[in-house]
Amino acid sequence: MQVRMILDAADVVGESAVWDDSRARLVWVDIVGRRIHRLDPVTGEHEIWPTPERVASIGLRVDGGAIVGLERRIALWEWGGPFRTICEVEPDRPDNRLNEGVVGPDGAFWVGTMQNNIGPDDEPRDIRADQGRLYRLTADGTLACVSDDRFGITNTLVWPTPDRLITADTLADTLYLYDIRNGRLENRRTFQSAFGRGLPDGSCLDAQGFLWTARVAGGACLTRSDPLGRIVAVVDLPCSWPTSCTFGGPDLATLYVTSARFTMTPDHLAGNPQEGGLFALEPGVRGRPAHRFGRKTEGTGSVEW
């Protein structure tokens, strides 16, 4: 399977890839680089917007704008406009920051926190405790914690069905499956663990219900797992820290992958300048369209926005 680098983004921590089907553009963030990207893969038009602080995640809204997880707050954003804060997350935990954030089939923005692993000078900082939790922000501005479970690094938020969630604790090298009842997560069980190459970061689902996961921290690959968590395929990548993935293109047949160069030495980057790039491949299956904040997926309820 051919994997090609389509943009030499040089992201410090590229993350949160999402396909905007209304504009035929790929959107993603660079957490440490404090910027949001938007790319037209056909023409190569590439837009970059700076953010006032580190930016952890981005999702699409039903009205055409975006919802953004910044370092400690969630904001509404029009492309190129100001960031309008909806809420601060965990104001009582100043040592935490936001990480993964994805719009779910319920039209809510689901986000995870973690102990901040980035110092004031943008250098790596050790995580000393499992302080991450998962939250759900609805379109009326209500933020609620959805589980009492704690995580080292919250990653992966995908819904095999509207009433089930797969999420990851990167530090635990484990993907978990939950049931969703009344907006809360219940009945946690292990979906997949101890693959042996890197650690699980961001994931997406294909149209067949199989899970694609970026294996960060030296994993240098994507895995494809069946609905029972069994790995059925491994795709090697020309980057050692893939971070997130999403299907895009007019028929959702292209799989896009972001990557990071965080913690890498100048000598390594001199020999591997593709680290932090944006990659694409055609895996032979199609993906699913992104959910939008403020609108429930058909069959799961009425419009909330």
Amino acid identity for residue 176 in this structure: Y
Is position 305 within any domain? no
Is position 301 within any domain? no
Given the structure tokens 């680089």, which residue do they identify?
33
Task: Give the sign of the dihedral formed by CA 88, CA 201, CA 179, CA 205.
Answer: positive
Cα separation, 126 vs 134, whole angstroms: 21
3-state class of 244 per DSSP?
Answer: strand
pLDDT surpassing 60 at residue 304: no
Is position 237 within any domain? yes
256: domain CATH number is 2.120.10.30
Is position 112 within any domain? yes
List 201, 226, 251, 267, catalytic entry: 201
Among 11-20, 168-177, 290-299, the minimum mean pLDDT is found in: 290-299
Beta strands at 292-293 and 14-20: parallel, antiparallel or unpaired: unpaired
pLDDT band (50, 70, 90) for residue 241? very high
Is position 300 within any domain? no
- Residue 302: the pLDDT is 34
List Cβ neighbours of 117 (8 Å cut-off, separation of 6 or more).
124, 125, 126, 127, 153
Kindly report, residue by residue over 173-217, the tens digit of the pLDDT: 999 999 999 999 999 999 999 999 999 999 999 999 999 999 999
Is position 133 within any domain? yes
Provide mean pLDDT across the span 54-65. 98
Q: Give, as one character, the DSSP assignment of residue 64.
A: S
Domain count, the chain: 1
Note every long-range contact of 121-128, with CB atoms under 8 Å and residues 24 or more positions apart, other chains counting.
Answer: 122/12, 122/32, 124/262, 124/263, 127/152, 127/153, 127/171
* Residue 201 among the catalytic residues: yes
Is position 18 within any domain? yes
Tell me the residue range of the domain where 30 lies.
3-293
Cα separation, 31 vs 240, whole angstroms: 18
pLDDT surpassing 70 at residue 51: yes
Cα separation, 197 vs 220, whole angstroms: 8
